[in-house]
Amino acid sequence: MKKKILVTREVFGEVLEFLAKDFDVTANQEDKVFGSDELARVLADKEGALTSIVDRIDEALLARCPHLKVVCNIAVGYNNIDLTACTAHGVMATNTPGVLDDTTADFTWTLILAAARRLNEAEAYVRSGQWDKWRLKQFLGLDVHHATLGIIGLGRIGQAVAHRAAGFEMEVLYHDVRRAAPEIESACRARYVSKEELFSRADIVTIHIPYCPETHHAVGAGEIGLMKKSAILIHAARGGVLDDAALVDALGRGAIAGAGLDVYENEPSLHPGFLKLKNVVLAPHIASSSEKTRFRMAMMAAENLAAALTSGNPPNLLNPSARKQ
């Protein structure tokens, strides 16, 4: 008998075909979002799950899923999974690192350029039929070339963002909990500075750290308060790292010039203040969403799942102590 698995959200057909070769797959191609009770019910008799960032895998759920051996997130971030609870229940958890770095870095630059050059405001102006003549002082923006870029978190995605800054001949500063190896710093042409120096000197600050209890509101009123009035803040990491209310307040007062966001606290709900502001570019958590990359992420998660349930040894395992010897 094939082992039963659940794919919690819509995925590419090829991914389901790959899984169906070895597993009895319950799919959700209607893309319904399961509430926690419903997720526990559909997962109760399953040994594996392909999960998304909106599925909470916690103690309450695991206690109701006695057969579960592996959860494979289709994401590099895994703050929706309680790893301690998984380990206690002998449930392996995996993620999809590496495959989305370049696509996410590309989108970070999309936000940087759009926010710096006020593309959202300019486009809305054209679409609404208000454009009547060329003006010298129309939608004056911030030059990105030769500006100072401040990167919070020089991990894989932060580094990919830094590499792209070379084309704009920028000065690159970074801050992280740990200083990067000299070869990484020189490949990124990035200089390690304190958080205070980064926020006060950068023209563009971009956040690339994961969300966990230690990084909750790592960027808040204090940090934003150090930024220049002409500076912009970019966030395509994970909701909760940035204090959204503090940013709404700063943008509303004109304390900084603008922002570009892909992720939010409590998404898909937004702080209502964002919708009233013109100086913020808002995207719906799509930084990794290119055709190729989202396919690779889903296939990588499926491969993690297949390996976990056949060899017990999946790549990209986040909690090796959950593995049965």
The residues that touch ligand DGY, with contacts defined as CB under 6 A, are 53, 75-77, 100, 285, 288
Residue in 156, 201, 285, 296 annotated catalytic: 285
Measured from the CB atom, the residue of 161 and 202 that comes closer to ligand DGY is 161
CB atoms under 10 Å from CB of 241, counted, come to 24
Nearest-CA neighbor of 186 among 204, 174, 201?
174
Residue 239 DSSP class: T
- 145 included as an active-site residue: no
- 323 included as an active-site residue: no
Nearest distance in Å: CB 83, ligand DGY: 15
Measured from the CB atom, the residue of 202 and 305 that comes closer to ligand DGY is 305
Measured from the CB atom, the residue of 182 and 213 that comes closer to ligand DGY is 213
- 238 included as an active-site residue: yes
Nearest distance in Å: CB 118, ligand DGY: 26
Measured from the CB atom, the residue of 189 and 296 that comes closer to ligand DGY is 296
Here the tokens at position 176 are: 């992280």
Nearest distance in Å: CB 21, ligand DGY: 25
Mention every residue, 6+ apart, whose C-beta is less than 8 A from residue 226.
196, 199, 200
CB atoms under 10 Å from CB of 211, counted, come to 20
Mention every residue, 6+ apart, whose C-beta is less than 8 A from residue 312.
323, 324
Judge residue 325's burial from the number of C-beta atoms within 10 Å of its C-beta, 0-12 exposed, 13-18 middle, 19 or more buried: exposed
Nearest distance in Å: CB 284, ligand DGY: 10
Residue in 238, 265, 294, 303 annotated catalytic: 238
Residue in 10, 121, 197, 267 annotated catalytic: 267
Measured between alpha carbons, how far apart are the two ends of the chain, in Å?
A: 23
Q: Which residues are catalytic?
A: 238, 267, 285
